[in-house]
């Protein structure tokens, strides 16, 4: 219960004194022990629904190190329908990158990601009971596979997601196919990030919110910038400096609720 509640945050963004005021919820790392946690998770969803946010973002890990089969994915899809508003989902490592483990079913992670795309990202709209339109990278760029990378705006703020995952961002150096997947996905993420910040600059958005799964800034900051998430971190820093406005990075993976300013402190 503590993990679930600590992972749910409600944020109020006000672009200016005349801007639309709205709230949204971000949560992740839910129902790691399904038998124990699912009732708590559903109670949390009821609480979120009562707060009437503009939308909710789920930043991945929809189960623990568990079986990654199609039945489990469908169960998550049914739970997502309990959100009575728009829900935007970012895949976590537990539901695809880590599915090669025997306990998870010894799946091919790339095949599991393809299944997630089929179930959750087949249309350029959000999930939840009240879908909202989204702009999907897979529909407007050469990176046609990456339908999970989406963008939308609310109240003068630009939101976008990227499939940046934990477990070393999918870089398994003992597996050539996994390595190639990670490299290609990183290239797609960088292109999406640059394009999103370009749009934010050109349209004078008052703020930018980025949602990913991975806890990218771990340990000493210099270590993180040299690690498997380093290219994304460097691109965020460069793009944010060029943009010049407020930028909020929302992520899961770490199971702790923290508000900090790591790019300024690093």
Residues 145, 180 contacting (CB under 8 angstroms): no
pTM for the full model?
A: 0.91
Q: What percent of the chain has pLDDT over 90?
A: 77
Strands 22-27 and 150-154: unpaired
- pLDDT tens-digit profile of 66-98? 899 999 999 999 999 999 999 999 999 999 999
pLDDT at 130: 97
Q: Cα 59 vs. chain centroid, distance in angstroms?
A: 4
- pLDDT tens-digit profile of 104-154? 999 999 999 999 999 999 999 999 999 999 999 999 999 999 999 999 999
Query: With helix as H, strand as E and coil as C, how does the chain read?
Result: CHHHHHCCEEEEECCCCCCCCEEEEEECCCCCCHHHHHHHHHHHHHHHHHHCCCEEEECCCCCCCCCCCHHHHHHHHHHHCCCCCEEEECCCHHHCHHHHCHHHCCCCHHHHHHHHHHHHCCCCECECCCCCECEEHHHHCCCCCCCCCEEEEECCEEEEECCCCHHHHCCCCCCHHHHHHHHHHHHHHHHHHHHHHHHHHHCCCCEEEEECCCCCCCCCHHHHHHCCCHHHHHHHHHHHHHHCCCEEEECCCCCCCCCCCHHHHC
């Amino acid at each position: 219960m503590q993990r679930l509640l600590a992972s749910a945050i409600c944020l109020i963004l006000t672009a200016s004194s005349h801007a639309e005021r709205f709230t949204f919820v971000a949560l992740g790392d839910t129902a790691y022990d399904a038998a124990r946690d699912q009732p708590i998770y559903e109670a949390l969803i009821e609480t979120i629904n009562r707060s009437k946010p503009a939308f909710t973002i789920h930043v991945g890990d929809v189960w623990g190190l568990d079986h990654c089969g199609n039945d489990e994915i469908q169960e998550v899809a049914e739970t997502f329908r309990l959100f009575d508003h728009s829900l935007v989902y970012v895949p976590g490592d537990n539901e695809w990158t880590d599915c090669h483990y025997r306990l998870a079913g010894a799946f091919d992670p790339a095949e599991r990601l393809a299944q997630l795309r089929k179930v959750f990202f087949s249309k350029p709209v959000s999930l939840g009971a009240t879908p909202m339109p989204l702009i999907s990278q897979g529909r407007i760029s050469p990176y046609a596979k990456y339908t999970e990378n989406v963008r939308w705006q609310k109240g003068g703020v630009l939101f976008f997601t990227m499939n940046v995952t934990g477990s070393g961002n999918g870089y398994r150096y003992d597996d050539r196919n996994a390595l190639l997947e990670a490299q290609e996905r990183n290239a797609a993420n960088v292109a999406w990030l640059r394009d999103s910040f370009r749009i934010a600059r050109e349209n004078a958005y008052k703020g930018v919110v980025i949602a990913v799964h991975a806890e990218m800034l771990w340990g000493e900051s210099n270590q993180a910038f040299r690690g498997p998430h380093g290219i994304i971190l460097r691109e965020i820093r460069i793009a944010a400096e060029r943009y010049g406005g407020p930028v909020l990075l929302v992520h899961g993976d770490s199971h702790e609720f923290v508000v900090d300013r790591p790019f300024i402190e690093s």
